[in-house]
Amino acid sequence: MSIQHAPEDLALLDPTEAGACAQAALVSEPIDETAAAGLAQVFKALGDPVRLRLVSLIGARDGGEVCVCDLTSAFDLSQPTISHHLKVLREAGLIDSERRGTWVYYRLVPSALERMAGVLSVPVSSRPSGPG
Amino acid sequence: MSIQHAPEDLALLDPTEAGACAQAALVSEPIDETAAAGLAQVFKALGDPVRLRLVSLIGARDGGEVCVCDLTSAFDLSQPTISHHLKVLREAGLIDSERRGTWVYYRLVPSALERMAGVLSVPVSSRPSGPG
DNA sequence: GGCATTCATAGACGGCTGTCGATACAGAAC
DNA sequence: GTTCTGTATCGACAGCCGTCTATGAATGCC
């Protein structure tokens, strides 16, 4: 975030460049409460249809950046509501923003998404070999 | 689910064996409202620390199966609360259950986890090449 | 300066969610 | 059958969440 926002909390404190197929997975070993709380915040941010579409709209954009006005016009929701959802995504570390003149542009944080993808990946060793 | 539960809703209607690095990603193109609603249900299920730890406890188990009694004893929460969280995960298609005698065993649905991992994966073409 | 535009914040409100205790259901042991 | 254990469901309640309107803050233009 590069605007007037305070650092807030930021759920992803270790945005390493872990690939999408890394084995730092949820199912490798039981996670502790602290890790669960941090990951849950990000998943909760993704657990809303509007926010999911916002992430998709931003990520699918060619230049990687989308103006807030374009995002607001894509929904039948008020501008403050969209702003609220963007804040949730920003506090989860999933998106970043930059002000240029009057407009504010949002972009994805790919490492954050990939980290979550890595968390969900299931190592072959953890997959049940038979149907039962 | 193999017990007395009705089919419920089941958020993951296409549990194909998509790898964790598939490009059916959120950022490939904007998703529609229906897809967003379905994905959001699964992410919302993952958006709770207790449920995240439940998934981790189940997935990290050697045999791939965990008895409910073992899960309940791992938390400072009542048994109905754990049962409720397991139901949420089950309705999201993330876990499955089977009754054997008095006990009920829960196991992961790896294809569901991997599908969500694929949704979060970021193709190289979508990654911004430069910081500005 | 004054005004318009873009976006964020504040406060309010209804609905959803996580939790509990109480209870019902399923299976095993007697 | 009865009883005991393990699990799911029910009903209630506090707190959170998504949404709105109203307002404030930042920037640009006159």
pLDDT score recorded for residue A126: 65
**A70-84 average pLDDT score:** 97
Yes or no, beta carbons of A120 and B121 under 8 Å apart: no
Question: pLDDT (tens digit, 9 = 90+) per residue, A94-121?
Answer: 999 999 999 999 999 999 999 999 999 9
Q: Where are the beta strands (DSSP E) in chain B?
A: 65-67, 95-100, 103-108
Residues of B in contact with A33 (CB under 8 A): 49, 53
Longest CA–CA separation in chain B, Å: 61
Beta carbon of A104 within 7 Å of strand C? yes
Min distance B66 CA to chain A CA atoms (Å): 12
Which residue type occupies A98? E
Q: How far is Cα of residue A31 from the mean position of the Cα atoms in its chain?
A: 20
Q: Which residues of chain B have pLDDT under 70?
A: 1-23, 125-132
Q: Which residues pair with B105 in a beta bridge?
A: B67, B98
Q: Write down the mean pLDDT value for chain A.
A: 84
Distance (Å) of CA B73 to CA B66, B68, B69, B78? 12, 9, 6, 9
Distance (Å) of CA A43 to CA A11, A47, A95? 10, 6, 14
What are the structural domains of chain A?
49-120 (1.10.10.10)
Is the confidence at residue A19, as pLDDT, over 70?
no
pLDDT score recorded for residue A63: 87
Give me the CA A48–C1' C8 separation in Å, rounded. Answer: 21
Q: What is the CA radius of gyration of chain A?
A: 17
pLDDT score recorded for residue A1: 45
Question: pLDDT (tens digit, 9 = 90+) per residue, A22-38?
Answer: 456 899 999 999 999 99
Q: Which residues pair with B108 in a beta bridge?
A: B95
Confidence of residue A59 (pLDDT cuts 50, 70, 90): very high
pLDDT score recorded for residue B89: 98
pLDDT score recorded for residue A122: 84
pLDDT score recorded for residue A107: 97
Is the confidence at residue A21, as pLDDT, over 50?
no
pLDDT score recorded for residue A17: 40
User: Which of B26, B89, B91, B116 to probe by mutation at the A interface, max A CB count within 10 Å?
Assistant: B26
Residues of B in contact with A50 (CB under 8 A): 36
Q: Are A17 and A111 in contact (CB under 8 A)?
A: yes
Residues of A in contact with B117 (CB under 8 A): 20, 117-122
pLDDT score recorded for residue A3: 54
Q: What is the nearest nucleotide to A51, using C1' and CA?
A: D18
Which candidate, A93, A110, A84, places its Cα nearest to that of B128? A110
pLDDT score recorded for residue A11: 54
Yes or no, beta carbons of A110 and B118 under 8 Å apart: no
> Looking at the partner chain, which of A53, A120, A126 has a beta carbon nearest the beta carbon of B117?
A120
| Residue A103: HSE in the Cβ half-sphere, 13 Å Cα cutoff | 10
Determine the 3-state secondary structure of B78 from DSSP. Answer: coil
The sheet with strand B95-100 has its strands ordered as B65-67, B103-108, B95-100
CA nearest B18 in A: which residue?
A121
pLDDT score recorded for residue A22: 45
Determine the 3-state secondary structure of B95 from DSSP. Answer: strand
Is the confidence at residue A2, as pLDDT, over 90?
no
pLDDT score recorded for residue A89: 98
Burial class (CB in 10 A: 0-12, 13-18, 19+), B14: exposed
